[in-house]
A and B are shown apart, each in its own frame.
Chain A
């Protein structure tokens, strides 16, 4: 078996891909440090940092106190003065504790100072529902931060992108927030060896199609792909676009798809109202692609409620494959 074909077969989990990216980054750049709660010997709440502390020591894989605001602020200050911190929040929900440093400081310092400085900070956020962790540990808050100029917000959906986009985030001179769906951590997929970057701000067409465009984020990309398979058997040819980056959004890929299909469904786990899909819909409605619409734009998003504990309720409040099937059938058959 040749080296090339071994390379093609190499699979890692999403969490392993992130760990590999951090390992590469720590190895190639002395300025890179990891900060977060229980990321040292514990290995991180979701075992993403794993055993990196053994390799790089506690000076570079730093357990912080349970101080999200202070910890994020330390990371901002360190980024401002020459380090390249990767700050792990234990759950994305805890971003609320650090809102001040993320929104008022990290996002704005460069602008407030007229471009004199940059804040090259990477923040990682385990996000999303499906683990039974209930309302304070299951949210999808990317839209909150997508609303803030100065931040970049990404949601890789595959192991390959998780690695490539993390390395791209480290190369980026501006603050980047990575929302990692917890359900994806165990998902396996092909991950190239070595150093590579996957561009921030570029969506990926995961499945080309001609009848309906589905723009999905994070875990919803996989649900949309599953739905697309079923729909193909019914003669409905769905194009699935993985948004990958919430801000800055790849408008052109979405608009080109809408010009082709005339039908758009946005699928995202965050609360539907004022969410990522609202922005995509409005962006399409404002563009020339509006002229190509053949049906109202549909949004499938999280229910207008906190995430409940009971597993059936938990499933009910975020879009599932049958919801996507129904929406796609309705829009494809002119029922909406």
Chain B
């Protein structure tokens, strides 16, 4: 098959073939926004402006944005504790995200959820999750709704390598396959569940191999390669939308930062981290778009300046927002008027 194609087309990466220049530029912009959003969050955290902890996905931007390329607002995602990128890929409002980090009433969760629970149901984001593997069955449920109600929506279920050893992973994949539900399981394998490497925790070499146990397609791709990610996930989404059931896509990637803000990084070498930093997904994406003349150097510079300003504005919005009322601390536990 490949041999019969003209060389020019074979050498053009999937992303360039599949998407318009505008879509690609928007994708790059989202990746840069994710990076700057998280750097901004980290800066606010070190200044003591953000309470609790947070899990940064710096270095994993291609996985988040590439996976959501063919989704509409009707399509759902479930996310993880390392979910800022997924929110932004699913078009979240950065001001409302920062406001949530700052615990403000204008935040996505009105200050009740924080970094680990941001959801944007209107955009199809059913929420990050503080429990490893917590979102897997929920994603299957969302897919069940879509099938039962005939909405045509697909659900992408993001999870990490750590979750693949939770019982919920196996139960969810099995049920999704048994009922042929429109769900795509996207494993962001960043090599470590907190400090424990996949080599030490997981019996299979590639997590995608586990798809075979549930009789669904499984594929492992370079998660820092935007084009590879979008190709694999788009294929799975098309498969699901056509009523053929779930797939498992494994994006091999790396988090540059620690697991959370209390990580002392005793399990990784500086060499390993700098090797992966050299495979920066944003640099790779920028080079891809530059080399295919989708974007110019000048446009990249403009994009950098514009996104810096967006982040600055978002932080200012959050800082200036009002805090929730203390007397409302237990509001939203139940629907109003339904609980004594």
Classify A-B as touching or not with yes or no (CB < 8 A).
yes
- Residues of chain A whose beta carbon lies under 8 Å from any beta carbon of chain B: 31, 33, 59, 62, 64-65, 67, 69-83, 85, 100-101, 104-105, 109-118, 149-150, 152, 172-174, 201, 248-251
**A104-B131, A110-B333, A174-B339 known; A76 and B138 CB under 8 Å?**
yes
* A100/B168 contact (C-beta < 8 A), A33-B148, A174-B339 known: yes
- Closest-CB distance, A119 to chain B (whole angstroms): 10
Task: Say yes or no: B171 contacts A105, CB within 8 Å.
Answer: no
With A73-B141, A74-B137 given, can you name 9 additional A-B contacts, CB distance below 8 Å? Answer: A65-B178, A81-B76, A83-B144, A100-B131, A101-B137, A104-B131, A113-B121, A115-B332, A117-B119
Q: Convert B110-122 into 0s and 1s, putting 1 for each residue whose CB lies closer than 8 angstroms to a CB of A.
A: 1111000101010
Q: Please determine whether B175 and A114 come into contact, CB atoms closer than 8 angstroms.
A: no
A201 — nearest CB in chain B belongs to which residue?
A: B340
Name the residue on B nearest A72 (C-beta).
B137
**Beta-carbon contact of B332 and A70 below 8 Å:** no
11 contacts between A and B (CB under 8 A): A65-B174, A70-B137, A70-B174, A75-B141, A82-B145, A105-B129, A112-B109, A112-B127, A115-B331, A117-B119, A172-B338
**In the bound complex, do residue A173 and residue B338 qualify as a contact, i.e. CB atoms below 8 Å apart?**
yes
Q: Closest CB of chain B to A243's CB: distance in Å?
A: 13
Report the minimal beta-carbon distance from B132 to chain A, rounded to whole angstroms: 10
Kindly list chain A residues whose C-beta atoms are within 8 Å of the C-beta of B6: none
Query: In this complex, which of A77, A104, A174, A248 has the most chain B Cβ atoms within 10 angstroms of its Cβ?
Result: A77
Are A70 and B333 closer than 8 Å at their CB atoms? no
B333 and A150 within 8 A (CB): yes
Q: Look across to chain A and name the residue whose beta carbon is closest to the beta carbon of B143.
A: A77
Identify the 9 closest CB pairs spanning chains A and B, nearest first.
A77-B141, A73-B137, A70-B171, A114-B110, A115-B332, A77-B138, A248-B340, A114-B109, A67-B171
Chain B residues within an 8 Å CB radius of A71 = 137, 171, 175
A25–chain B nearest beta-carbon distance, Å: 15
**Partner-A contacts on B (CB < 8 A):** 76, 78, 107-113, 117, 119, 121, 126-127, 129-131, 134, 136-146, 148-149, 167-168, 170-172, 174-175, 178-179, 330-335, 338-340
Do A76 and B141 have beta carbons less than 8 Å apart? Answer: yes
The minimal Cβ–Cβ distance linking B6 to chain A, given in whole angstroms, is: 44
The answer to whether B148 and A59 have CB atoms under 8 Å apart is: yes
Nearest-neighbor residue (CB-CB) of A250 within chain B: B340
> How many angstroms from the CA of A76 to the CA of B145 in the assembled complex?
11
Residues of the A chain whose Cβ atoms lie less than 8 Å from the Cβ of B146: 81
- Bound CA–CA A117/B78 (angstroms): 14
A206-B149 Cα distance, complex, nearest whole Å: 43
**Bound: A47/B238 CA distance, A:** 41
Contact B140 A74 (CB under 8 A): yes
Q: Which of B109, B110, B137, B167 has the most chain A CB atoms inside 10 A of its CB?
A: B137
Q: Which residues of B contact A116 (CB under 8 A)?
A: 108-109, 119, 121
Determine which of A33, A67, A115, A248 lies in contact with B175 in the assembled complex, contact meaning CB atoms within 8 Å. Answer: A67
A101 to B140, CA, bound (A): 13
A113 touches B112 (CB 8 A): yes
Determine if A82 and B167 form an interchain contact, defined as CB atoms under 8 angstroms apart: no
**Structural contact, B111 and A114, CB atoms closer than 8 A:** yes
